[in-house]
Structure 1
């Protein structure tokens, strides 16, 4: 007698498509949208339960309005591709609030309130001069970087960013160390000792320069907010695609190249897709979760094992009134002490939503991540109370709603806003980052030339990868 088998899985039929896109962030969705627009049968596989990658827009619980726990800002002038999508899908934007003083806390814990246009965070004249020197040095060096020719960066200066600053005689000053650490951790989520000078300066150049990355207003990276949240751009892309072709909670387990010039993409639920092309649009540090057969080339394998996701968390504190604005503060905070590292006002007065967004990054974030939940929240609120002073401390503590995402702990991402490279890696492997291999093409925000780590970079990288596939499959394109 043959024993009856219970619970045996029914084999899932093989699905045949033209292209499989791995990753449902902005880059993957942009690729999928353009591929479908070109007539190619395309499916997008997203490992997480939600689309949008490092974008995370939520409706507030305590009242109307959207809070952004991930990507927040765009720019209509310097980031034309992502802004064009807001116009295409009829999404309203609002200018970042810029009227008022900023608050700065140095490595010594000393607080200063800076009016608009102030040139230095420090009241000490020597520190102010040193700060000006290092900021000018970074800005000018970044401007000289060729973001499309990795061999042009001087080999002798291809060291860690901390050592690069030391080469210019400035790292020995504690104030400079604090400023430089604050800059690298806020921009890429890693300490200057970990980040390659070439990589970091390339990243700064890709974002239109240091002033752009750190500022608001017409030319700043923090220029416009999307009223419905940045995730509404991702949702609009999905809604414009063929129904049922963007699959969430569908992590990819393996990608196998076949003798007939196709690939088999298999998910962790054992659903298999036979495809002519695959676009990988996930962070490079997450390639490790996929079994590639044959293995990735050595250059790409080195990048997978070497890139480091930023150590990052983001919190939104909502209040019943914009008490900081009433006190003449713009809502921009910077601290080299932590746990708050930097932050901006993200209010929407039309919805009576009054909120401050705070970022915890780098080594400060690594320590903060280890705290119990209530201690995490209390540490942020109490630090804000310290930053705004005794007169406003009770306002800071009167939180209506607190939300946060620890991006370092997010499955299938493991960090934000990008994955950075150490010394020498960009020179050796920068070209390999984007190079197609077999039937595989590579998107994701890290592979952008301009605006790495931003929505604009993700969009342009997605378009580039899609165009590579369209060009290669032009003869097979469905009409």
Structure 2
């Protein structure tokens, strides 16, 4: 068995029913897959307020004149926008961040457990590493934020697409031949993708990921198809039929390959957790900026470029900002909620209008003890049937906080979103109980707290961990995502070359836009 085969299975149970002897009796999933839901209706905008450390609600009028004039206005207070604003402010320019939601951090969301004050859980982006994500790790070092190594001791529990459940260790995992072929094909193809020169991808291969696998004779194999569906739904919350082969291969290579994306090692995507939560990174950036630099509850409705060096940004509440430069650091699928004058270039409109936010949700189950560790399990539970697609142990033993971080994604998430709150909780807990078998089922059900975030329904985000592209889009229009338009610059994690969909990618995209803006402003001074 190749190293790729053994490691990639830890993402989300890519391996399907195999020759390994089952530990538990087969479990038949009662879950039904539905067509992905439409984008939810927007909620009514709340009253804008400046960001403050203690989250005190203030009116826009409390900062003086409700209209502001600054050197740079940044639309979006996620990691990309906050990094850009921080560096621009440090360069001596005035900056104002307009964040649509009532908090900063974007797709990162750290929450305090209600049942255990002081203990935090990650409901959004949560992982970093020291080796291949140097920028985000350096920020943790700079601000004295401690990290916690991902727990990686014990066996996995995997449910195949046929409902069969297996307990597997690293040594006993064995993939069907077609799955091994799939993994090797994807790993090799991704390694050949030039992530900074999109036009080099062969046009004849620029089809859907499903069709690309069909060209290799794999799509009609049920094991290989299940592996492909698990891979794409876990990585980007979309199915192989929807995604361009170029896009998903580029995405894999942007994260340094399949092994890196599946690993908890020093250079893996799941290497380290931030003890105080990843939201503490953006809060540290905010505290480094002058008071009044961030306005919350301020969704932008218009961006008007009236003359060179003059950009007018208007929020839904009518708050107006005049700036020399503007940075757009929001998910591309949210661009459609802003009216641009003049309109965005056709190439940018073409790609933005067709990006697809991932269907994604996260549930954290908290317990009084780490019963899975005590049973020799690592905390990785995976299934193609759902609602649990994949999971990780996210305990902080020093805080006596014992939690499982569970992901629901892709077509499974689409069906799960249709349930009410109690049904969603029950479905996850009962699925976990079925996966661990009768001897541990009572432990799985003995939950002290359940926390859920449906990213697909989160206002002004509408999905995660990124927005994806269909066939042909990245090769034709990928460059336009990063291209500035007049005095409007474009950031956000989706514009990153490396670690797209991760905190590192969001931060480096913020650094790029800050460098662009500072360079332009410096040359015009």
Query: TM-score scaled by structure 2?
Result: 0.87
Aligned to 2:142: 88
Q: What is the alpha-carbon distance in structure 2 between the residues aligned to residue 86 and residue 435 of structure 1?
A: 30
SS state at 1:460 partner? helix
Contact 1:111 1:387 (8 Å CA) reproduced: yes
Tell me how far 1:118 sits from its aligned partner: 4.4
Per the alignment, residue 62 of structure 1 pairs with 115
Aligned partners of 2:73 and 2:168: how far apart in 1? 51
SS class of match (2:163)? coil
Task: State the match for 1:193 in structure 2.
Answer: 241
Q: Is the 8 A contact 1:19 1:279 kept in 2?
A: yes
1:117 CA drift (Å): 4.3
Contact 1:253 1:267 in 2 (8 A): yes
Residue aligning to 1:102: 156
C-alpha deviation, 1:240, in angstroms: 0.7
Aligned residue for 2:379, secondary structure, equals strand
**1:411 aligns to 2:459 (yes or no):** yes
Q: Is the aligned partner of 1:296 residue 2:349?
A: no
Give aligned pairs, total.
Answer: 463
Q: In the TM superposition, what is the alpha-carbon distance from 1:78 to its structure 2 partner? A: 1.0
Which of 10, 14, 17 pairs up with 2:70?
17
Question: Is 1:44 paired with 2:92?
Answer: no
CA contact (8 A) 1:12 1:270 kept: no
Corresponding residue number in structure 2 for 1:114: 168
1:3 maps to none
Displacement after TM superposition at 1:350 (Å): 0.4
Displacement of 1:260 in angstroms is: 4.9
Contact persistence 2:80–2:493 (CA under 8 A): yes
Q: Give the alignment partner of residue 366 of structure 1, picking from 414, 423, 430.
A: 414
Q: CA offsets per residue over residues 264-296 of structure 1, 9 Å max, x none?
A: 111111111111100000000000111101110
Q: Which residue of 1 aligns with 2:86?
A: 33
Preserved CA contact (<8 Å) 1:12 1:272? no
Task: Report the Cα offset of residue 215 of structure 1.
Answer: 2.1
Please show how residues 133-172 of structure 1 align to structure 2 within 5 Å.
133-172=181-220
For the Cα contact (< 8 Å) 2:77–2:105, is it kept in 1? yes
Aligned match of 1:5: none
**CA deviation profile, 1:2-38 (whole Å, cap 9, x unmatched):** xxxxxxx999654211000000000000000000011
1:75-474 to 2 correspondences below 5 Å: 75-120=129-174, 122=175, 128-474=176-522
Give the distance between the partners of 2:204 and 2:332, measured in 1 at CA.
Answer: 27
**Which residue of 1 is the match for residue 125 of structure 2?**
71
Whole-angstrom distance in 1 between the partners of 2:290 and 2:455: 30
Q: Give yes or no for contact 1:347–1:356 (8 Å, CA) kept in 2.
A: yes
SS at match of 1:301: helix
TM-score if structure 1 supplies the norm length?
0.95
Counterparts of 2:460 and 2:66 in 1: how far apart (Å)? 26
For the residue of structure 2 that corresponds to 1:103, the secondary structure is strand
**Quick check: 1:12–1:271 contact (8 Å CA) kept in 2?**
no
Report the RMSD for the aligned CA atoms in angstroms.
1.4
CA distance in 1, matches of 2:208, 2:523: 47
SS of residue matched to 1:431: helix
Deviations 1:93-118 (A, max 9, x none): 01000010011111001111111344
Distance 1:12 1:190, change over 3 A: same
Deviations along 1:414-468, whole A, 9 cap, x unmatched?
A: 0000000000000110110100001100000000000000000000000001100
